[in-house]
Amino acid sequence: MRPASYIAARLFRLSNQYVSSTIIRIAILSVAIGLAVMIISVAIVVGFKNQIRDKVIGFIAPIKIEVLDNNASIETKPFTFSNELFETINSVEGVSHCQGIIYKPALIKTTDQIQGVVLKGVGSDYDQTYFLNKIIDGKIPDFCDTSASVQVLISKHIADKLRVKTGDFLRFWFVSTDQQHTRGRKFEVSGIYETGLLEFDRLYVFADVRHLQKLNNWSGNQFSTVEVLVHDVNMIQKVNDQLYQELPVDLSSGTVRESYPQIFDWLDLQDINVIIIIVLMVLVSGITMLGTLLIIILERTSMVGLLKALGASNSLIRNIFHSLSLSILLRGIIFGNLFGIGFCLIQSYFGILKLPSESYYLSEVPIYISVYQVLLINVGTLILWAVMLYIPVTVINKINPSKAIRYE
């Protein structure tokens, strides 16, 4: 064992005899709490962003293709989803699936309630994976039958507001494209879904696309939107840029972020909260460590003077206190990791902390934790704290041996 490490270990074991023992415990606790808060904060924010992003992308689709015009209405102009267009979309690297969609506003009228909704017409090519675990009652309508299905999928929010359940019939009213008259259609509630995204749950009803094509007097291969799914959600912008170049001049593609910028901008703001928390925790824990090391050095002034009188260099004495502070840091980091990771695992598996879904889109605090994430936090904070601890040991250079030996 090196002399500096040996002396530092002896100092740590003998610290209970000095005032600094309480300060050392406070320093270890401060480091542990700071690191745990950083791990938990990052895990919550990353989990929150991932779950909200996946919910929005799963509901809306990563990329939408529509007619290129200035129409800001929900009900856009139709275009032909031909085999040639289908092959063009699927030839773009990163595209996993594409599906034709029609959006059409409607009114649902019951005996004592009226509700404005948007019907999302889907067909047999619609990827239902996202909704498999979102159905809370009934089932997803069968859109693969040879004839158009009269069943619809509504949200729990709409079902509660209209006081309907699966098996009930609802009458939908549509305004014709020339806005001269209305037409009604009767649909059966096949299932009820709940995503937690109130912005979507209170608006969208899923129906067979063939009904909407008939209402609009469109052919069987005409749609208002083509949704494009991708293999990697982190490559959405890249896929969209390439897809935009491949599409005909009368069509345009856009990402889900462009469709709902307010949601993704809100998610980006969460990063600022994490940065603020990390900076505060590093500063608080670092300042505590600085104070602790200064107190230890002041308590050991006579020892520093004796070591200098015996010929010890300033670098050797600095290494002693560096080793001592490192042992305090490592103990704090170990306890901080145990608490932080332990909390994340408990919340991830048991979901103890709940959230109001109408405000946060989630029913419980989300967690996403990875080895890389934890290592990055540990290594980054350890380096920052280690650099900060070089400040107090500069006091050692100014200690005069003759005066320090007489110091009490």
pLDDT band at residue 330, thresholds of 50, 70 and 90? confident
Cα–Cα distance list, 96 to 132, 136, 143 (Å): 19, 28, 21
Asked if residue 364 and residue 271 are part of one domain, the reply reads yes
Q: Are residues 127 and 16 in the same domain?
A: no
- Report whether pLDDT(185) > 80: yes
Residue 362 lies in a domain: yes
Judge contact between 230 and 241, C-beta under 8 A: no
Q: Domains in the chain: how many in total?
A: 2
Tell me, what's the pLDDT at 345?
Answer: 92
Same-domain pairing of 79 and 154:
yes
Query: CB-side exposure of 128: number of CA atoms within 13 Å?
Result: 17
Domain membership of residue 62 (yes or no) is no
| For residue 169, pLDDT beyond 80 | yes
Domain-embedded: residue 60? no
What percent of the chain stands above pLDDT 70?
83
Contact 53, 194 (CB under 8 A): no
**pLDDT recorded at residue 93:** 92
Q: Could you tell me what percent of the chain has a pLDDT over 90?
A: 32
Contact 170, 159 (CB under 8 A): no
Once rounded to an integer, what is the mean pLDDT over residues 221-244? 92
Question: Structure pTM?
Answer: 0.77
Lowest mean pLDDT among 12-16, 153-157, 230-234, 236-240: 12-16
What is the residue-averaged pLDDT of the chain? Answer: 83
Same domain, 98 and 210: yes
| 337/280 same-domain check | yes
The answer as to whether 336 is a domain residue is: yes
Of 220, 248, 276, the domain-final residue: 248
47 lies in the same domain as 150: no
Distances (CA, A) of 185 to 111, 150, 171, 247: 16, 9, 6, 35
**Of the residues 248, 274, 291, the one at which a domain ends:** 248
Residue 259 lies in a domain: no
d(CA 163, CA 223): 32
Is there a single domain that holds both residue 272 and residue 185?
Answer: no
Does residue 388 share a domain with residue 271?
A: yes
Is the domain of 43 the same as that of 85? no
- For residue 122, the tally of other CB atoms under 10 A from its CB is 23
The residue out of 194, 214, 248 marking a domain boundary is 248
In a domain, 330, yes or no: yes
Question: 352-395: per-residue pLDDT in tens?
Answer: 888 887 677 778 888 998 888 899 888 888 887 777 777 766 66
Express each pLDDT in 252-269 by its tens digit: 999 999 888 888 888 888
Q: What is the pLDDT of residue 340?
A: 92
pLDDT on residue 344: 92
Which of 57, 213, 43, 198 has its CA nearest to residue 122?
213
- Domain presence at residue 353: yes
Give residue 284's domain range.
3-55+264-405
3-state secondary structure of 390: coil
pLDDT by residue (tens digit) across 113-134? Answer: 889 999 999 998 899 889 888 9
254, part of any domain: no
Confidence band, pLDDT 50/70/90 cuts, at residue 335: very high
Q: Taking 90 as the threshold, does the pLDDT of residue 238 lie above it? A: yes
Whether 19 contacts 299, CB under 8 Å = yes
Both 201 and 313 in a single domain? no
Contact yes or no for 106/174 (Cβ under 8 A): yes
Answer yes or no: do 233 and 157 share one domain: yes
The reply to whether 119 and 193 lie within a common domain is yes
Burial bucket for residue 393 (CB in 10 Å: 0-12, 13-18, 19+): buried
